[in-house]
Amino acid sequence: MNNKKPKNVFKEGAITSEFIGNSIYKHQTKTSIGAHNIFLGQVRADIVDGKTVSVIEYTAYEDMANNKFHEIRESAFEKFDLTCMHIYHSLGKVNAGEICLFVFVSSPRRKIVFEALEYIVEAIKADVPVFGKEIFEDETHQWKQNT
């Protein structure tokens, strides 16, 4: 296997709690790990001018996005003593209350996972060409802006 080839980070639709639980389970054979830190992005039912967001539909410049995820991954492994790192991002429709981003880092020690996770999540928000269309209950929409 060529480690340099970017993996596909995208998953169609929401990321389920079963998938996350199962991913945690798989790390129980790695007994050098002492600390995991997990970030989950969840779709908010924001109210804008009296209308409630019911779905975010994600699109991405997929090739560039997977390359950026790969760069973020390589740079995080260089900066931090991580045992494992996993990133999953939704494409397509994700309902309010469902999970659209799952970032999972593991290390022998806790201080490292805190620093690494925040670094990775901020880099994803800043550098990865993913676009969220916030669809209201009446089918109108606006484009999500990260803050």
Query: Which of 79, 115, 86 shows the shortest CA–CA distance to 101?
Result: 86
For the segment 51-90, give every residue that binds other proteins (CB under 8 A).
58-61, 63-65, 67, 89
By CB under 8 A, tell whether 28 contacts its own copies: yes
For the segment 90-109, give every residue that binds its own copies (CB under 8 A).
96-99, 106, 108-109
Nearer to its own copies, 3 or 31 (CB): 31
CB 84 within 8 A of CB 33: yes
Residue entry with tokens 């798989």: 26
Query: Which of 3, 43, 33 shows the shortest CA–CA distance to 104?
Result: 33
Q: Distance between CA 62 and CA 131 in Å, rounded?
A: 11
Could you say which of other proteins, its own copies, none residue 129 binds, taking C-beta under 5 to 8 angstroms by partner kind? Answer: other proteins
Q: Which residues bind its own copies (CB under 8 A)?
A: 17-18, 20-22, 24-25, 27-45, 96-99, 106, 108-110, 113-114, 117-118, 121, 147
